[in-house]
Structure 1
Amino acid sequence: MRHPSGRAPRAWRSASLVATAAALLALTTACGQEKGDQSPNGQNVGNQAPAKGDGYGAGDGYGDADEGAADGGKAKAKAAGQLAVWDSKKLGKVVTDSEGFTLYRFDKDTAQPPKSNCDAACLKAWPVVAADGAKAAPGVDASLLGEVTAADGTKQLTIDGWPMYRFAKDAKPGDAKGQGVGGTWYAAASDGKKAAPAAAETPEETAPPEAVPADPAGLSTRKDPKLGEIVVDKNGMTVYRFTKDSAWPIKSNCVGACAEKWPAVAPVDKADTKGIDKKGYMTYDRPDGGKQQTIDCWPLYTFAGDKKPGDTNGQGVGGTWFAASPDGKAVGAPKK
């Protein structure tokens, strides 16, 4: 008698066993594979100047052609959020948006009455700052904030009547590449005037404020000056790995008193992450009955000794605890 597939029963069973073994092998090699010691059963247990033109920007007068959004060339307006002020040694006190980006004003606009004269191609290089949710920087008169309808219909933030913009070539908080462009664009001060350094000698330039996302992801990353790119939770607290755990089979060896000092990271939906590697991103059922998030199948923790975002007091504790990288590796762990 032959199996419906056309194979003899024994041959069919052999093929089925081979397929099952291959699937299991694929799963075990998908998690926790990093250089280091291997357990006896073969599973990895871990390691330790102003531009010329018409005043809109450089080159063709507006900025690079690819700076606009894909929806028709206009860069998307971003909400102002919580405004802040940072001291620049070169520019003076500069107003920034909630992400720490420099805000600019345009000499061809008017403040009385408020009017934006940047439209069409101009908006590709100088996206408007949306007035939605704008809050004055601490110590700044909130009555100076207002709004005007921009050429594209956006409700644009104004400060003392002057419409506010960002510059598409500013890639990170603290950039001010739009300063002086075309002799008409200038970083704005918190009162809407052009930012200017104080006449007296100013102290060393301070860093711009860190970005404060309005709705931070459940798990994301931050650039630590010593450790590099590491994982943080929704509250900005450093996420760690324990080198005594194993990735496959997934197992946490931090229970009891250890778990009180090193709380397990609760499950976070993949859609609620930013910059995290999704390989081996799954939920683990802990020995104590709780559920724990993993990256590359490695269980994740925070440290009770970290008191504020940015703390890394758990790094290297006991030679077994290390900050987790976006792909689940233990940052700075010694190789065995």
Structure 2
Amino acid sequence: MKTSWRSASLVASAAAVLALTTACGQENGNASTGAQNVGATAAAGGYGTSTTAGAGNGYGADSKDESAAAKPEAAGKLAVAENAKVGKVLTDGAGFTLYRFDKDTAEPPKSSCDGDCAKAWPPVPAEGAEAAVGVDKALLGEVTRTDGTKQLTVGGWPMYRYAKDTKAGDANGQDVGGTWFASAPDGKKATLASLPGLSVRKDPKLGDIIVDKNGMTVYRFAKDQAWPVSKSACTGACLEKWPAVAPVSEDDTKGIKKKGLMPFTRPDGVKQMSVNCWPIYTFSGDSAPGDTNGQGVGGTWYAVSPDGKTVGAAK
């Protein structure tokens, strides 16, 4: 593949406090007090989520670093990959995401992407494409483009790569211009499966971390406390940057340690979820599932492991 285009209420009685202490335990070295450290909102990724990305020419190819389209490379053996931001997507043999264009048609198959559009979205040649496990061979086909070349179709939809995807697993073309979408194995638009209220995702860099029902990374604040009761130190402007995760029933979780998995009442009367009695939050700087822009912000915000501990925090 060429690098030019891959490249978480205080109880009154002592007995209740004791019970809560037993449920939550104490994690040494993490509860502290002090001023809030909100952290700055991280910049959102350029093309992954914005429906206005590439609005300059409608193709997402208005950046000066775009290069002319090279000879299209064969798709090879197609595969199905799980993308944290998009869901199950169709990839080529090298692991690069394949896309479909809303302005194309599937019945009959027709491509509406030529010229500059085809430089940003190189058509995938039909020749040499093979179905793999999870891909129905009967859905593979071809369409003749205006230049006479044959383009791969899946479920009738012409397939493309994206010039701003520089490595296998990238999905920077998702929702560009509100018309480009990663392809599901059947040629339809890829979508994330419905998730439990809290579940576990394996991040390439952080390992197993907790995500909410939308697939967004969940964080802990080092200035909060879990013992003897859950208490949040994030208030006011802090909550605008770090929204509190709402209560989730225990049976609406998957892969999360049950000890200390409970809601508590914040000083403002709002209920917030806790894991191992630690308050949990999401980050406004994360714009899409799979983002971990809040990791390490201010040296006080960290992603959360399935047992409620922080991931990547200094020991």
- Structure of greater Rg: 1
Looking at both structures, which has the greater relative contact order when contacts are Cα pairs under 8 Å and sequence separation is at least 6? 2
TM-score (ref. length: structure 2)? 0.49
Q: TM-score, normalised by structure 1?
A: 0.47
